[in-house]
Structure 1
Amino acid sequence: MNVELKANKKEIQRLTRTFKVNQLKIKKNFFEKKNGVVSCKLNSKNVDFLISELYKKVNKKLNGITKNLIVCAVGGYGRKQLAPYSDIDLLFIHNDFDNNDKLEKSIQFILYPLWDLGFNVGHATRSIKQASEFSKKDHTVRTSMLDARLICGSKTHFKKVIKVFKKDVTKKSKSFFKEKILERERKLLDINFNFIRNEPDIKQSAGSIRDINLISWGLKIFCIVQNSEEEEFLTKNEKKKLTRSLNFFLTIRCFLHYLSNRSNDKLSFDYQKMIADRIQRKSLKGVNSNVEILMNKYFYHTRSTKSFTQIVIKIIYEYIANKAHKISNKININVNNYSFVEDFIENFHRGKISIFYQRILFEKINLIPQSFFVSKKFLRFFKKSLVSSNKKETLLLLNDLGIISKVIPDFSKIVSQTQFDRFHSLTVDQHTLRAINILKDIKLNPKKKGYALAGKIFKKKFDKKPLFYATLLHDIAKGRGGKHESLGSAISKKILKTLHEDEATIKKVSWLVENHFLLSEYAFKKDIQDYSVIKKITSKIKNIRELDSLYLLTVADISAVDQGIWNDWKAMLLEEIYQKCEEEILKPPEFETLNKKINKVKKSVFMTSKISNKKINDFSKITYPNFWLLQTPKTIAFQIEKFFQGIEKKKDFNFSIIKKEKIIELTIVTNDRPKLFLDIISIFVSEKVSVLEARIFTLDDNSVIDTFKISLDGSDYLEKKEIESKIDKLKIKLENFGNDKFLDINNDLLLQKNIHQKIEISLDNTTSSTYSILVVVTNNRPRLLYDISKILIKNELIISTAKISTNGDFIEDSFYLRNKFGFKLRDGEFSDNLIKEIKLSLTKVPENVF
């Protein structure tokens, strides 16, 4: 029997018009009140209205449908958390319809207007019996039933469905909730390496909406099992915290949907600014921008939610698993009696971390005065957790519970403190604790790949306590303006006095905090083959113990920034600068003339190769001193043997590519000419090659030896065959280059979006005794090195060395320069004009900056 269910077009139009008017009112109300919970409830209510009206019309046309068909909201819509462009999930449950065509037409009558309005509608149709059967087989279906809410139809039938569902949940409560917990853990692992935490997913990231959903599901399962109300489990304070966090997340989510006019859960940098400017008042002149204030709030709420979720789901699971009959939300603890905290500490050391005590501390921590946390007994526990304990989760839990901030009140200022760039994708406290755990990893695994030298140093017998303190406090002044290392050094002295540390420890820690950038600044941005650079850095390091501690702190600090920041190149540079500093500190060389230094290098070349003394001396006649002083003897020997026959080049154009792990060493020997360096860089741009270091050695016969350390963009994610293919393409380009086939650089730049524009240019005439060092810090983009080099060459400057350090959004290029007469650049009009010209070239694309 065919059923005709023709919709009255005018009636449907009237309904959808009313619906759209309501949508606009909800949107206006949201932008005025900025309340996500209210807005989502109103959106849910508006969809309820539309579906109910459509349902009434179906019932009118097919009398008695209410006895046979119920419509339920499930998912976020069922929870009344419907964001403006979220999917609408519906469950149609029928009571054995005698006419399938009638059932199908009835459902279509409800769905079509929703589709016409542009909604993505997920829907399922089941009989009462099927609803029960599907729920038993699939935990995803079972989850949707937890959130099921009747929109229209028979309440009796709905209650019948829910009764059967609850009976099934009671039987499988333990496995059901465990699967929900494992599902969440798998999701967090899945997204960990696929999103930037400073651009979080407001729905799925750790501590966000999905964790609150998990608590809600756990409580519903628990209440089904116990036949009780949710109100009996959570305290008023816990409910208040959760509600506040949920409202914050839903408010951000509604902003994302409205501002992008689509379903959008990624809080990317551009939307952060748009939302922050709407939520915050214009920030006063000070350190933090509106965006930083917004993101600090975001990380405060995610941290609080994540911590509470970890605690409460364990308690719920424990009660469900043990079939406990009663659970109380009363946390009756006398905050003037700290025995429970002492019990917690004792259990902590034994590896028995009571979840009950964790819940109490999470609830009551602010009521316990700081004096307790700096008592001798508690400080012994804290210091042991910091320095001696190998358990990585210890400090993380103490931070989540707010204990570290109680011991060190200044630490609370960096909790949830964002570092507003792609380089630091963790908050300051997360980064700090990760750095400490990396030290513990090195201690436990001294031969770990990439950390061999760090492991060797850590095995030395010296007091590690100052190192761990310095790691804990190295960023303590972040977000306060000025140089945080200098301010942090002063703050660390005050903190350590309250922790009853001796003056010797305080002095060591404050020195490490103040100098925690020292090794990385020189290793990544200065030419460490230049002896005057090593002399300068070692003038600040008194002994090997300071060097050892500073090296370990530097390694931990860089490794804790984010995935991929610590790499073979940085490990190699830091190891090299450590060895040079160690040699200088242990055995400072006596004053040597230039000729004596060069002769020592020549001797080393002779001893480590098959090159005769005559050939070395003959070759030296066409070289300048820096050829010998700024390279290792091994590199010099390779160049002479590979590219020269006597003092003559074997070829007019020759090159060598050597791959070492993820770093490629390229050496080019050819005749010098104007713009040679630029033409080589153009090949790198075309092949998406990143330059890490470049050196240019001009010889007296107009030959030039250019050496490059390069890496392939995205090499971490490439297969071995893909890497080999890219190297082969690079070789072909170089061979064509040798045949005078040059590349034109396309002026169209493919630019990434940057958080904010940064241009800092300085000229350093003090670090090196023979070169001026031009330092350019700016937003990273393709052909940046090419554009800056072009300006330098145009101004007749000789580039001896270029070092490139990439830090997320920003790149720092350091150029070792001399003028055409071989002298340093003088401060004055020429230098000022050079800096202005470079700045002008870097300000062409402000539209990519938020």
Structure 2
Amino acid sequence: MPADRTTIGPAGQPGPADVDDAGWAALAREELATADAGFAARFDQGGEIDRLLAERAAAVDALVQAAWQRAIPLEAELALFAVGGYGRGELYPQSDIDLLVMAAPAHSQAHADSLARLFALLWDCGLPVGHAVRSLEQCTEAAVGDITVLTALLEARPLAANEHERRELQSAVSPRQVWPPQAFFEAKRDELLERHARYGDTADNLEPNLKEGPGGLRDVQTLHWIALRVIGTADMESLVAFGQLGADEVATIERERRALARLRYGLHLVAGKREERLRFDYQKLLAARLGFEDAGGTLAVEQMMQGFYRSASLVLRIGERLLQRFEEQLQGEAEPEPLDELFELRRGYLAARDPDWPHAPAEVLALFETWARRGETRGLHSHTARALAEALPRFPAYDRADDALRERFMGLLRGAQPVRSLTRMARLGVLGRWIPAFQKVSGRMQFDLFHVYTVDQHTLAVLKYMQAFASGERDPRFALVHEAWPRLRKPELLLLAGLFHDIAKGRGGDHSELGADDARVFCLAMGLGESEAALVEWLVRRHLLMSMTAQKQDIADPDVIHRFATEVADRERLDHLYLLTCADIAGTSPKLWNAWKDRLLADLYSATRLALRRGLEHPLAAEERGAETRTAVRAMLAESGVDDEMVAALFERMPAVGFQRGRADQLAWQADALRESTVGATVVRVRPVPAHAGALEVFVHAPDADGLFAAIVATLDRAGLAIQQARVLDGPGDTIFDTFEVIPADSRHLPVAADVEQRLARALAGPLEGIRPARRTLPRHLRHFRIAPKIAFDDGELGRTTLSLVCTDRPGLLADVAQALRNQHMRVHDARIATFGERAEDVFQITATTSDGRDRPLDPARQQALSEALLACLEGEAR
């Protein structure tokens, strides 16, 4: 190789020439730290991000080149290139330094010691160096076998190499040698789609990956790489001249790239290590460093994250268009397939036939009408998507639109695939123009663990569940939606309620009240009648009523059912509210919907329909409910061959209140378990909950004993089961009838009912005092969502005290609370367990055991002692 390569002068080498390598590395490390401190200060002062990235790369260039001069003899026929992101000339504070030494095998072997010295020097300087030593032929072979090697080499930049060597490397990985444009495009497109799928095909994750996630910096880099291979340039401005991008699109993607780059640079600074995922550990720190402040009811961190989600959304939107244009560049234009007077298909993409489309807002909604009628397409054609984006500023909000346009929008809701149309409108920015309040919640996150999507993505998820409900196919996860949906007279009213139920979040005040007002105004503007608008308004205002009633109150209590039914008032409202509640919970988080919630809502729905059918003037008394349940249980047992005498004997062993509050199928199962045991024996039975993987119902009947509840809870916790509900009843003869609804704490490890039954039976057969909660460390993500514990006591019914506890949820929480109750000599008679992300809201019916062995409500002194014990448990070392 020619030896007249470009090298750096002695001024780039830190320290005196005669210093040893260790001293040189120490000086270089110090010099780099000083430079990085200066870059960080400029970043905090709002320095331009591209300049910071380029200047940091240049500073590292000088250090690498100085190390090269120190370690590599001048006559060595070796060439040094920066590759990857470093080769691109942008270097983040914690990014790797990727280097390629290009040399013939004989030369690299001859200078192996010098190269080892070089890389050692760089590591000692504090640079995270990744390197490869290859000949030209080896570069070609590596690129053929791994397209990621090729993309790294595409951006190779000479550090100690001459122009001839640069051209040789370019030739070695040229399209004539490896990965011609069509193959490269298809591979990188598939790679992008697979990467998106790994992140759930959405940028709206609670802890997004700024580099690899959908809409992240890797997407922008992929577009550059494809442009370089297909068009021959990676410069976005050049793509305008080639007709691949519009000037507005270039301006948008460059603006969002810089916004993402600034987030990534700041993340590296606050993390102090290589970190690409915007984890909870860093979100508040980064928001503060970037100058965000809490304002208008919106946290600083939420403002920062909304900016990220919007940037990622725009990168995704423009990236999709550009990929289409690259495809057309490679394959040429196809013969269009006309669909109607306005639209056609081009290579399966829906496109406007008129290059000047749209001429009026009505043609925008006509696009979504045609799209819905057509069914499956590959998507919207890139040129039409760009024309739509350019027309958005002229598209009116609903309150400024004419009646014809409003009716056309309602036609979409009443037509084929309305949810798909709304989703497309939201993704392309049309829905935010039509309903400005929706635009305000686009990309809006809530800094908690309950809402795992942004508000707009949650809303679309809710609508998609409603679309699934409308399919007519029975979904085993939702017990009664297939019965409720056909009763809807106008399904579009439920869609409107879903669209508006969270639309007022972030404004301050009650989002349900504010959203209900918005919904009413919108419905009346759309030409809906007063009664229809009133239904949508009520659903938005009370969209949390059913979930709160089911999870926080005892829905086996006839009084609770009567109060709920009185507020719902009629069966039409009940059907709508049940479907909205199911979709709302399921659309909040993939992990939130479970067998327990399904059963609670189905039971509340069924009980309320019965109450409405009987008439609210005829509330069901507890005694009447108990008698009806006894009759139903007796019939079930008779079908199993149990005669009346045995049924009567079994009923004598069961608590009377259980028939007033339990389900008939549950009580028949428990009675059957008693039939197989002798009086006074401990009975443990566990059964799966149908159609819900891992969910179990646990029944324990045993002679009462101090600490029994705590022992059961601790054993279930150690078995990896999270308790969703506990019904603790006192049976005849000083026995207990405890029923637990449990789900696996880790969905990857599903429990076997028989194994849980044996484990619990073994534990209860031994000494209870030895059964203690497992010790655990607090999960990382919970450390950033600590809630100050709130403990309250109220005089309950039947001589019991109601203990209400609100605190940060964590693994083993209930077991620890039960242990605290046990240590304070409390008996638990009922428990309702509700968890909302990181927030636990639990209610217990308890009594204190007195010296005479009787159970009494807690006096103020016992309440104070218990409160202090619980606070010590909750605020002490996490288990």
TM-score range, shorter chain: 0.7 to 0.9
Question: Which residue does the alignment assign to 1:159?
Answer: 167
Identify the residue that residue 298 of structure 1 maps to in structure 2.
308
1:320 aligns with 2:330: yes
Question: Residues 767 and 437 (structure 1 numbering): CA distance in 2 closer, same or farther, change over 3 Å?
Answer: farther
1:15–1:524 Cα change, 3 Å: closer
Give the letter for the 1:520 counterpart.
S
Contact 1:16/1:113 (<8 A) preserved: no
Distance in 2, Cα, partners of 1:226 & 1:256: 26
Superimposed CA distance per residue, residues 557-598 of structure 1 (whole angstroms, 9 cap, x where no aligned partner): 111112222222222222221111111112348466655544
Match of 2:13 in 1: none
Which 10-residue stretch deviates more, 774-783 or 384-393? 384-393
Task: Quote the Cα distance in structure 1 between the aligned partners of 2:547 and 2:873.
Answer: 25
Greater Cα offset, 136-145 or 179-188? 136-145
Please, which of 203, 212, 219 is the counterpart of residue 211 of structure 2? 203
Could you tell me how far 1:261 is from its partner in structure 2?
2.6
Q: CA RMSD in A?
A: 3.8
For residue 51 of structure 1, the aligned residue among 54, 64, 83 is 64
Residue 276 of structure 2 is aligned with which of 249, 265, 283? 265
Which is further off, 657-666 or 421-430?
A: 657-666
Q: Which amino acid aligns with 2:742?
A: I
Alignment of 1:442-461 (within 5 A): 442-444=469-471, 446-451=473-478, 453-460=480-487
The alpha carbon displacement at 1:736 in A equals 3.8
- 1:73–1:382 CA distance, 2 compared to 1 (3 A): farther
1:698 aligns with 2:725: no
Which residue of the partner structure matches residue 613 of structure 2?
586
Residue 70 to residue 518, structure 1, CA distance change in 2 (3 Å): same
Q: CA distance change for structure 1 residues 761 and 116 in 2, over 3 Å: closer, same or farther?
A: closer
| Letter aligned with residue 629 of structure 2 | V
Q: Secondary structure at 1:468's aligned position in 2? A: helix
Within 1, Cα distance between the matches of 2:398 and 2:466? Answer: 29
Contact 1:532/1:769, CA 8 A, preserved across alignment:
no
The alignment partner of 1:458 has SS state of helix
Structure 1 counterpart of 2:134, one-letter code: R
Structure 1, 676-685 or 425-434: larger mean CA deviation: 676-685
Please tell me whether the aligned partners of residues 97 and 103 of structure 1 are also in contact (alpha carbons under 8 angstroms).
no
Q: Kindly, what percent of the aligned residue pairs are identical?
A: 22
Task: Give, in whole Å, the separation in 1 of the partners of 2:748 and 2:74.
Answer: 59
Partner residue of 1:499?
Answer: 526
Kindly provide the CA deviation profile for residues 499-558 of structure 1, in whole angstroms up to 9, marking residues without a partner as x: 333322211101111121122112222222111111111111122221111111111111
2:837 pairs with 1:808: yes
Quote the offset at 1:421 in angstroms.
1.6
2:43 partner letter: F
Higher mean C-alpha displacement, 503-512 vs 806-815: 806-815
Aligned-partner Cα distance in 2 for 1:26–1:202: 20
Q: Number of aligned residue pairs: give it.
A: 823
Whether the 8 Å CA contact 2:546–2:578 is kept in 1: the answer is yes
**In the alignment, is residue 718 of structure 1 matched against residue 727 of structure 2?**
no
SS of the residue aligned with 1:706? strand
C-alpha distance in structure 1 between counterparts of 2:327 and 2:174, whole Å: 17
SS of the counterpart of 1:82?
coil
Do 1:654 and 1:738's aligned partners in 2 also have CA atoms closer than 8 Å?
no
Question: What amino acid is the match of 2:698?
Answer: L
One of 618, 628, 632 as aligned partner of 2:659: 628
Q: Are 2:811 and 1:782 equivalent residues in the alignment?
A: yes
Residue equivalent to 1:74: 83
- C-alpha distance in 1, partners of 2:785/2:862? 26
Q: Are 1:606 and 2:602 matched, yes or no?
A: no
Per the TM alignment, residue 739 of structure 1 is displaced from its structure 2 partner at its CA by 3.3
- Counterpart CA distance in 1 for 2:397 and 2:552 is 43
- Aligned pair in 2 of structure 1 residues 799, 651: CA closer, same or farther (>3 Å)? closer
Instruction: Give 1:831 deviation, angstroms.
Output: 10
SS at match of 2:231: helix
In the alignment, is the contact (CA less than 8 A) between 1:598 and 1:629 conserved in 2?
yes
- In structure 2, the partner of 1:3 is none
Q: Deviations over 1:666-701 (max 9, x none)?
A: 222221133321222222233332112212221342
**Structure 2 runs not aligned, ≥5 long:** 1-17, 335-353
SS of residue in 1 equivalent to 2:769: coil
Q: 1:22 to 1:102 in 2, by over 3 A?
A: farther
> 1:231-286, CA deviations, whole angstroms, 9 ceiling, x for partnerless residues?
524444333332332223222222332333321112111211111122125434x4
Q: What pairs with 1:127-142 in structure 2 (closer than 5 Å)? A: 127-142=135-150
- Residue of structure 1 in register with 2:74 after alignment: 62
SS in 2 for 1:694: strand
In 2, Cα distance between equivalents of 1:171 and 1:710: 54
Among candidates 254, 257, 265, match of residue 243 of structure 1: 254
The answer to whether the aligner puts 1:277 opposite 2:309 as a matched pair is no
| In 2, Cα distance between equivalents of 1:184 and 1:743 | 54
Q: How far 1:49 sits from its partner (Å)?
A: 1.1
- Counterpart secondary structure, 1:224: coil
* Residue of structure 2 aligned with 1:23, choices 27, 36, 54: 36
Change (3 A) 1:675 1:365: same
Counterpart CA distance in 1 for 2:89 and 2:802 is 61
> Is the aligned partner of 1:689 residue 2:721?
yes
Moved more, 732-741 or 542-551: 732-741
Going from structure 1 to structure 2, the CA distance change for 1:739 and 1:8 (only over 3 Å counts) comes to closer
CA distance in 1, matches of 2:366, 2:180: 35
Q: Distance in 1 between matches of 2:488 and 2:419?
A: 22
User: Which residue of 1 is the match for residue 682 of structure 2?
Assistant: 653
Residue type of the alignment partner of 2:184: F
1:758 matched to 2:774? The reply is no
Q: Choose the corresponding residue for 2:392, options 323, 344, 365.
A: 365
Identify the residue that residue 674 of structure 2 maps to in structure 1.
643
Corresponding residue for residue 799 of structure 1: 828
Match of 1:254 among 254, 265, 280: 265
Residue pair 1:74, 1:148 contacting (<8 A) in 2 also: yes
Corresponding residue number in structure 2 for 1:553:
580
The CA distance in 1 between the partners of 2:292 and 2:621, in whole Å, is: 64
Structure 1 residues 622 and 301, CA gap change in structure 2 (3 angstroms): same
SS of the residue corresponding to residue 582 of structure 1 reads helix
Structure 2 residue 209 is matched with structure 1 residue 181: no
Deviations 1:583-625, CA, capped at 9 Å, x for gaps = 1112348466655544433333332214554555566566654
Change (3 A) 1:372 1:175: farther
Q: 2: CA distance between counterparts of 1:392 and 1:438?
A: 9
Residue of structure 1 equivalent to 2:498: 471
Distance 1:192 1:502 in 2: 40
Tell me: higher relative CO, structure 1 or 2? Use CA pairs within 8 A at least 6 residues apart. 1
Once residues 501 and 669 of structure 1 are traced to their aligned partners in structure 2, the CA distance between those partners, rounded to angstroms, is 56
- Counterpart of 2:278 in structure 1: which amino acid? L
The aligned counterpart of 2:707 is 675
Cα distance in 2 for residues equivalent to 1:99 and 1:818: 85
Question: Aligned ranges for residues 417-432 of structure 1 at < 5 Å?
Answer: 417-432=444-459
Shift of 1:54: 3.2
Contact 2:185 2:230 in 1 (8 A): no
CA distance in structure 2 between the aligned counterparts of 1:593 and 1:454, rounded to whole angstroms: 28
Q: Residue 361 of structure 1 aligns to which amino acid in structure 2?
A: L
Gap change, CA 1:213 and 1:623, over 3 Å in 2 = same
Q: Deviations over 1:411-451 (max 9, x none)?
A: 11111110222221110000101111121122225223313
How far apart, CA to CA, are the structure 1 residues paired with 2:233 and 2:845? Answer: 72
Structure 2 vs 1, CA of residues 335 and 258 (structure 1 numbering), >3 Å: closer, same or farther?
A: same
Letter in 2 for 1:212: V
Indicate whether 1:126 and 2:134 are aligned: yes
Alpha carbons 1:533, 1:767 under 8 Å: kept:
no
Distance 1:281 1:807, change over 3 A: closer
CA 670–97 in structure 1, closer or farther in 2 if over 3 Å, else same: closer
**How far apart in 1 are the matches of 2:554 and 2:687?**
22
